[in-house]
Amino acid sequence: MQSNVMTQATAPRPSPASDGATGLGGQLVVYDLLRRLFLSGPSLDLLQALAVVDRKSLGLPRHLDQDLEKMQEAVDANLERLQSWQESLLVEFTRLVVGPGETPAVPYGSFYLSPTRNLMTEETLAVRAFYLDAGLAVRNLHQIPDDHLGIELEFLYWLTQQAADGNRDARERFLFLHDSFVRDHFSRWVSEFAGALDRAATEPFFRAVASVLKSTSALVH
């Protein structure tokens, strides 16, 4: 599934076995699931894809694997009523991060990084600079801030994909860009967002999502 929110993020969904011993394929699967969730919501297709993920093949760090397992367990517990559960998740997702109005978990980095809790600050421009340095730009600029969680996850997905698909020099470059973005920006706010999500969620699924986000906010190479 492609979000088309960034000008070059157009590659197909990853195969976790495609990059050999590097372990990047497993990280791609996690980024893919998260970006789809925060860009399009908990769709039926997403839940069905999560249900059949073979975690053993991903080679994830133990803590991240355990967090992903919690997401799968939430889906497994609701497989017999998946469609009605998906509708409930969508209502919960809208309340938590979409609105209208104030939401308990604001999905924009600038909200957490600005002393005044404002959106569209210099932090948003700093994120845009990360994208441009990698040769990317957000489609429909100004319709959604560049520091929206879904777009940042799309960026990390794309960087990891380029590293997995490239030669040694390309891999080193894109992993450097990935790790710089995580250390200098992503890790500075996502854990706080995940904490807000965990506290406000009533569905175990979203509490598991919060745990996965916390793990990815520390994922560097």
The DSSP annotation for 25-72 comes to: HHHHHHHHHHHHHHHH-S-HHHHHHHHT--GGGT---HHHHHHHHHHH
Whether the Cβ atoms of residue 43 and residue 36 lie closer than 8 Å to each other:
yes
For residue 7, the tally of other CB atoms under 10 A from its CB is: 12
Q: What is the pLDDT of residue 36?
A: 98
For Cα atoms 19, 41, 59, give the angle at the middle one, nearest 5 degrees.
25
Whether the Cβ atoms of residue 123 and residue 136 lie closer than 8 Å to each other:
no
Please list, in sequence order, all residues whose beta carbon lies within 8 angstroms of the beta carbon of residue 152, skipping any fewer than 6 positions away.
109, 127, 181, 185, 186
Q: What is the pLDDT of residue 123?
A: 83
Q: What is the pLDDT of residue 4?
A: 58
The DSSP annotation for 138-194 comes to: BTTTTTS-TTBHHHHHHHHHHHHHHHHHS-HHHHHHHHHHHHHHIIIIIHHHHHHHH
Mean pLDDT by 10 residues, the chain (221 residues): 52 41 84 97 98 95 96 97 98 97 95 83 87 88 83 97 94 97 97 98 98 96 89
Q: What is the pLDDT of residue 53?
A: 97
Q: What is the pLDDT of residue 2?
A: 40
Whether the Cβ atoms of residue 50 and residue 13 lie closer than 8 Å to each other:
no
Whether the Cβ atoms of residue 78 and residue 216 lie closer than 8 Å to each other:
no
Domain borders along the chain are 20-216
Query: What's the rounded Cα separation, in Å, for the pair 103 and 93?
Result: 10
Whether the Cβ atoms of residue 82 and residue 88 lie closer than 8 Å to each other:
no
Q: What is the pLDDT of residue 6?
A: 65
Q: What is the pLDDT of residue 16?
A: 42
CATH 3.40.440.10 fits 20-216, yes or no: no
Which residue, 25, 78, 89, is CA-closest to 54? 25
Beta bridge partner(s), residue 127: none
